[in-house]
Amino acid sequence: MNQFYIKSGRFPLRRAQTNALQYLYMIPLRDENPTRRFPFVNYGLIVLNVLVFLWQVSLEPYGEISLYRMALIPLDVTTGFDFGDARAVFTSMFMHAGLAHLLGNMLYLWIFGDNVEDALGHARYLFFYLAGGVAASLTHVFLYPTSQIPTVGASGAIAATLGAYLILYPHRRVVTLIPFGFFIQIARIPASIVLGMWFLLQLFEGTVSLGMAELGGVAFWAHIGGFVFGMLFGPRLRLRERPVLYWDDWGKW
């Protein structure tokens, strides 16, 4: 899941989530990590993201204007922060600039979010997810305070979930699809490698992007900020007592 800018019609839009092209290198399919609780918060977040996207589609041909108004714009935050900007921090987390953007983000949330919810508990996980999205947005605003490019997408919050998963379950195996040219291999890879490589890719491309003009694309530093937040605070919110019985893992596929 990555954040990226797209240019559509009048408005250059920046997504705070996953770049579909990055899925060509390593595509997680599922993890081998059963949960003990039914992850209704995580499933609820997925449903909410899908419903918001369907609402966006229903607004066409004026959906782009609505998207622009509800997206996070760094310059607005740094030149007179008000209630509308605070609202945009949260509304932007549930909006997506296209179907591929939505599906990429929801894939990662489906695979990794349920286990983080299992470790943190339902209420703490919801708080953590939203706080991670805020941290990701503020990281982007801090590094691009004069940017007028709107940012949308759930990937900042999802990046926080990935960071927490990396610390909580580094040795759990992730069934991953790896394309090699015309050949495809499916391998069971430790989460520390799958998520560690994802983070290193964000860090590399984010560092390179600092020396370039902001023209739109992936908001790498929102991913980085969310991921680091998740690594630092996800484990601190972990519940000490956990249920004995596992939930029958129909949340996996």
Contact call for residues 102 and 96 (beta carbons, < 8 A)? yes
Query: In this model, does residue 28 exceed pLDDT 70?
Result: yes
Reported as a pLDDT band with limits 50, 70 and 90, residue 212 is low
Query: In this model, does residue 233 exceed pLDDT 60?
Result: yes
Strands (E) across the chain are located at 5-8, 11-15, 27-31, 151-152, 173-180, 183-190
What percent of the chain shows pLDDT beyond 90?
56
| CA 132 to chain centroid | 9
The pTM of this model reads: 0.85
Burial 218-253 (b: 16+ CB within 10 A, else e): bbbbbbbbbbbbbbebbeebbeeeeeeeeeeeebee
Determine whether domain 5-237 maps to CATH 3.20.20.80: no
Reported as a pLDDT band with limits 50, 70 and 90, residue 226 is very high
Query: Using one digit for the tens of pLDDT, what is the confidence trace for 177-208?
Result: 988 777 888 999 999 999 999 999 999 888 88
pLDDT the model gives residue 81: 84
Query: In this model, does residue 170 exceed pLDDT 50?
Result: yes
Query: Using one digit for the tens of pLDDT, what is the confidence trace for 36-51?
Result: 999 999 999 999 999 9
Reported as a pLDDT band with limits 50, 70 and 90, residue 235 is very high
Neighbouring CB atoms inside 10 A of 181's CB total 5
